[in-house]
Structure formats: structure tokens, C-alpha cells
Amino acid sequence: MDLFIAIFTGTVIAATPLIFAALGELVVEKSGVLNLGIEGMMLMGAALAFWAVTAGYPMPVAILAGALAGAAASLLFGVLALTFLTNQYAAGLALAIFGSGVSAFLGRGFGSEPIEALHGINVPVLSDLPLIGPLLFRFDPMVYLALVMFAAISWFLYRTKAGLILRTIGESPQTSHAIGYPVIRIRYMAVLFGGAMAGLAGAYLSVAYTPLWVENMTAGKGWIALALVVFATWRPLRILLGAWLFGGMTILQLQGQALGLEVPSELLSALPYLATIIVLVLISRNRQMLALHFPASLAKPFRPAG
């Protein structure tokens, strides 16, 4: 039972940064913009949040700083891709490289000392319940925030007029502009939101998941989050399930190494990424499903007439 609890809680925790980053990218792509720079925004969010903690700021301020760092990085992407109509693929890749370099530069002064990690919430009575307590009521606040963001984004996209407008812009910006909607402004807002969510994901990595500075600590999670959006066929619930799948594979490979399985550790470490690739290949074979939810104007530049 203790092993089951450890795997379950580890899965949820490992999935949390992916949920933040992938949900943010979902909103961005629903507006018709493709930002490949998630990895860079996560690293910048991680670096600034870690710096804020070491500088003595309260944990909420550090997490907010991480979100703002991600949003600021995404603004740079927005200026290039939306104002100057730079190729979105190139601008996103440049942002990923830029974020990696900036975080490495900032991290030179962090040293190797760990910081005090974000504490879990102790809910009176509920946290002490057998089995249910450790499974549901002992996580840190960011885990619950990720679930709240999942519910909020799902409601926003499919239950509000603003969400409908966002999805309409992602399908046909020309029609949306003709109706009178400010396409570029709304896309900027979506890009900034996606950047803030990536920054939150990075902040979670540096102040809760691994409260010790390690260069390039995202270890490809930004690219996994990008893949999860496609894996989910641009639907929030599938993003949540996909993040849990990846988180579960991550924890299982760690448990496998701890149990001393006679399998090369490199292969075990590659299992989460291998599982993601296999699922993406299987999903990609169903072109009808992809076409049904794929934003028609994704990565296509738009300049308002006149």
C-alpha cells in the first residue's frame, strides 16, 4: 500500500509542471499561434523563482516572479511573430535557445545549496484519514492550482463567449477581423497567458519538485508539454490524462531503478519519452480526429487589412 501511495502521489507531482505548460500552450494554439519556446520560458521561470527564494522573498512572490518571467519571454516571441510576422517556428526555437542561455547565466551564482521547498498543505482531519489523506490532501498548493487551472481553462474555452471568440480567431482570423474582433490583441493576450503558465511550470520545478538549482533542469519537459497538446488533440481533459501518463512513466522508471531491476538505467530513463513518442505516432495515424480539433490557422501569419 505504501508503494501504491508513493507511485500515485509521485505521478501527480511529476505531472504538475506538464499540466501548467501544456494548458498554457493549448490556449496559445487555440488562438492560431504556435510557440515552440516552452522550454526556454520554463527555464526562465525556474531561474527567476529560484533567485527570488534565495534573495529572501516569500514563496508566493517567487512563484509570481516565475510566471512574470515566462510572460516577459513570451512577449518577446509575440513581438517577433505577431508584430513583425517572423516565422513562428523560427521565433519559438530562438526563444527556447535564448531562455536556456539566460537561465544558465543567472544560475551561475546560485551554487549547489538546496532551498526550502514549497510545503504541502495539511488539511485538518482530512489529511489524517487512512489512505484518502495521503492520496488527496497532502499535496502542495501548486498541485491543486494546476487542477483549478484545468477546470478554469476548460470552462473558458467551451462555456464562455470569450473562449468562443478565441477559438474562432484560431480557425479564421480574417473572418474574426471582418466581424470586428481585435485579432492581434487577443493573440497577444493568449501568448502572454501561455508564457505565464510556462513560467509557473518552471517555478514549480525549481521551488517544489527539485528545490536545487540544476542547469537545464527542465530536461525536455517543455518539448513534452508541446507534444502533449497534439497528443490530446487540443482538448484539455486529454492534456490532463496525458500529463498523468507521462508522470506515471517517470515515477515507474524511478521505482524500477530503486528496486534494482536488471535493465540499463539509460533505458529506464528513456521510457517516459519513448511512451510519449509511441502515443503521438498512434494519435497521428487518426487524421480525422486531428483534423476535427486542429486550429485551421495554426502558425499562419495574419496582418489586418488596412
Span 173-225, pLDDT tens digits: 999 999 999 999 999 999 999 999 999 999 999 999 998 899 999 999 999 99
What region does 242 belong to: left with phi over 0, alpha with psi -120 to 50, or beta?
alpha
123 exposure class (CB count in 10 Å sphere: 0-12, 13-18, 19+): middle
The domain spanning residue 179 has which CATH number? 1.10.3470
- For residues 121 and 138, is the Cβ–Cβ distance under 8 A? yes
Q: 130-153 pLDDT, tens per residue?
A: 889 989 999 999 999 999 999 999
Q: Is 8 inside a domain boundary? A: yes
Please indicate, yes or no, if residue 22 is contained in any of the structural domains. Answer: yes
For the entire predicted model, the pTM comes to: 0.94
Whether 306 maps to a domain, the answer reads no
Q: What integer pLDDT is reported at residue 270 of this predicted model?
A: 79
pLDDT at 257: 65
306, pLDDT greater than 70: no
Radius of gyration of the chain from its Cα atoms, rounded to whole angstroms: 20
Residue 100 belongs to what domain range?
Answer: 2-292
Of 194, 155, 275, 146, nearest in space to 31 by CA: 194
**In a domain? residue 163:** yes
- Is residue 304 assigned to a domain? no
Contact 73, 37 (CB under 8 A): yes
Instruction: Check residues 216 and 256 and name the one with the higher pLDDT.
Output: 216
Rounded to an integer, what distance in angstroms lies between the CA atom of residue 186 and that of residue 101?
Answer: 29
Tell me whether residue 297 is in a domain: no
What's the number of domains the chain is made of?
A: 1
Q: Does residue 169 fall inside a structural domain?
A: yes
